[in-house]
Amino acid sequence: MIRAPSLLLILGAAPAVAAEYVDDGPYAHRRSLILFAGPGATYTERISGSATASGFAAQLDLGVGLTVGYDQDEVFLLVRGSSGGGPGEELALIGGYRSVFGSESWQTFFDLGASVRPISGPWLGPRIGFGARHTLSDHFALYGGLGFTFGFGSGLRADTEVFTGLQWIIPVGSAS
């Protein structure tokens, strides 16, 4: 004979057993590896001792990122080569966190990171950036933006950059 408390437990659990489990939380999206490349331009002002240099330079970025957390935010690392202008030829390593806003084909982003220029200084400093990204498909996106870097080490420097590029988005598994 089934007692009243047992019957209530069985009847209360029946809807939960019959319901289909759907994982639609923020980590249900697949984690992705992101490869990106693109050209840009930088304007630099730097002071090293009594010497100053300023000018424009062309740049090329090559990088890798990984989606993390909510809304396809990314951690990224890129190598930036620059040549021309007053600053001369330089190499920078830039790493940071990109917070992405929006879920449609057009998204905006905000970068927070650090820049290291080991050859031409050395210089080390914070970097902020912001921009927009247009998703072309599940695997490709175009992006562009504006960034600011401050450097300390062999004097002081400030860089203003305009960057563009193409992202190749490669799913690498479920986020768990």
Q: What is the pLDDT of residues 34-56, one digit of tens each?
A: 999 999 999 999 888 888 889 99
CB burial readout 10-23, b (16+ within 10 A) else e: eeeeeeeeeeeeee
* Model pLDDT, residue 30: 61
The CATH number that applies at residue 78 is 2.40.160.20
Q: Average pLDDT of the chain?
A: 83
* Model pLDDT, residue 98: 95
Strands (E), 26-50: 30-48
Inter-residue contact 37 to 65 (CB < 8 Å): no
| Inside any domain, residue 39 | yes
- What pTM was estimated for this model as a whole? 0.77
13-22, 39-48, 77-86, 149-158 — which is least confidently predicted?
13-22
Rounded Cα distance, 29 and 137, in Å: 16
Is it the case that residue 120 has pLDDT exceeding 80?
Answer: no
| Inside any domain, residue 9 | no
* Model pLDDT, residue 135: 92
Inter-residue contact 143 to 37 (CB < 8 Å): no
Is it the case that residue 69 has pLDDT exceeding 60?
Answer: yes
18-22, 72-76, 82-86 — which is least confidently predicted?
18-22
| Inside any domain, residue 27 | no
Number of domains in the chain: 1
Percent of the chain with pLDDT over 90: 57
* Model pLDDT, residue 84: 77
Inter-residue contact 57 to 90 (CB < 8 Å): yes
| Inside any domain, residue 28 | no
Inter-residue contact 159 to 149 (CB < 8 Å): yes
| Inside any domain, residue 58 | yes
| Inside any domain, residue 18 | no
| Inside any domain, residue 119 | yes
- Token pair of 17 as six digits: 């057993």
**Which residues form the domain of 158?**
35-171
The residues pairing with 93 across neighbouring beta strands, listed in sequence order, are 79, 116
